[in-house]
């Protein structure tokens, strides 16, 4: 049985927006809209077996188009592209040509520009696989869109598996060399509705280094060991334990260790919920909702204040097109971009 769809409201120009709800054999539900390919809710059980939503989001598309939302730009649950994270000064040079992007984050370009993949309507087709219900989203990004070269075709498949995993699989092709760094920007709170912030969540990250950044959040190029710093999550620490030692809070890229998965584990002791993350990406941006300020009210009337959610954005490193020492993010014609990230839920 395929995921049913329903109306999620209309865009400001009157276009109807759809919402699709994937359900697995255990009753978990993931709701995704074709507006930005956005994960709007994710219902998973706590240790009592009670289902609860664990991601920040809104009841209909109007929330994602409100002036407060657009001004604060949190990207709740959205697909991010062409380039997740920041590109310094909105410029990069490729094959001898300089490209200029929109400046939308201090002096830099962030998350694909003014109208990135999070703000477009994707073609959506529900389906099924051996693992569970699926939603296949496709978007054609034209040559020059937001300043990026090449006609790019992106396909993202969400699968809610029967072992309680939300899988996000990305593929893309282009007719001209282009930077590409796709991710999902879900904000998680494993006690959402019960806990106003995520400071008590226990986090483990399988990463011995992180990318040091300047005061505009652009990497300096240094990959610094986490040992002896508040960035060391190689053993479990609560988010709030050392966050005050990090000016502004956590919003950094960790360099993931190669080898056995998962790359991250998050435990919320009150509800007993556990989330494990696996990915084939080389990095993850761990962000703790530092810029949420209480101006947004989401599902169930929950006010999203500072640290109301955390993100684990699996990715290549920020500003990679300008950092030759970083793993390349350039997709060439004839190549197929492929990346998969999974979020697996359990209790303890």
Catalytic residue IDs: 185, 313
Q: List binding-site positions for beta-D-galactose.
A: 85-86, 185-187, 251
Neighbours of 43 (CB within 10 A): 18
Closest of 151, 192, 343, 321 to residue 266, by C-alpha: 343
Q: What whole-number distance in Å separates Cα of residue 261 and Cα of residue 14?
A: 44
Can you state the percent helix, strand and coil of the chain, rounding each to 5? 10, 45, 45
Contact by Cβ (8 Å): 174, 142: no
Q: What whole-number distance in Å separates Cα of residue 284 and Cα of residue 314?
A: 4
Contact by Cβ (8 Å): 211, 253: yes
Q: 104-116 burial by CB neighbour count: b if 16+ within 10 A, else e?
A: bbeebbbbbbeeb
Closest of 208, 187, 343 to residue 264, by C-alpha: 343
Three-class DSSP category at 53: strand
Q: List binding-site positions.
A: 85-86, 185-187, 251
């Amino acid at each position: 049985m395929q995921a049913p769809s329903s109306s999620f409201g209309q865009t400001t120009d009157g276009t109807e927006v759809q919402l699709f709800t994937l359900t697995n054999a255990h009753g978990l539900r993931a709701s995704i809209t074709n507006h930005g390919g956005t994960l709007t809710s994710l219902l998973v059980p706590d240790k009592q077996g009670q289902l609860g939503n664990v991601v920040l989001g809104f009841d209909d598309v109007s929330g994602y188009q409100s002036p407060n939302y657009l001004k604060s730009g949190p990207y709740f649950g959205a697909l991010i592209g062409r380039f997740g994270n920041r590109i310094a000064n909105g410029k990069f040079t490729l094959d001898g040509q300089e490209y200029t992007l929109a400046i939308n984050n201090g002096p830099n370009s962030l998350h694909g520009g003014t109208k990135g993949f999070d703000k477009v309507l994707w073609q959506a087709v529900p389906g099924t696989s051996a693992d569970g219900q699926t939603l296949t989203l496709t978007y054609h990004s034209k040559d020059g869109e937001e300043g990026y070269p090449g006609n790019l075709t992106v396909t993202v498949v969400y699968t809610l598996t029967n072992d309680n995993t939300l899988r996000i699989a990305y593929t893309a092709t282009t007719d001209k060399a282009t930077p590409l760094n796709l991710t999902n920007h879900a904000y998680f709170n494993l006690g959402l509705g019960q806990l106003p912030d995520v400071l008590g969540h226990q986090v483990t990250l399988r990463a011995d280094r992180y990318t040091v950044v300047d005061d505009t959040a652009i990497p300096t190029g240094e990959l610094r060991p986490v040992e002896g710093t508040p960035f060391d999550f190689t053993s479990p620490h609560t988010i709030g334990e050392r966050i005050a030692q990090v000016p502004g809070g956590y919003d950094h890229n960790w360099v993931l260790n190669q080898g056995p998965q998962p790359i991250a584990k998050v435990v919320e002791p009150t509800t007993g919920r556990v989330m494990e993350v696996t990915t084939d990406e080389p990095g993850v941006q761990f962000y703790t909702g530092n810029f949420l300020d209480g101006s947004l009210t989401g599902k169930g009337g929950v006010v999203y204040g500072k640290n109301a959610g955390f993100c684990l954005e699996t990715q290549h490193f920020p500003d990679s097109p300008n950092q030759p020492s970083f793993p390349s993010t350039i997709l060439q014609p004839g190549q197929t971009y492929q990346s998969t990230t999974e979020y697996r839920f359990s209790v303890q």
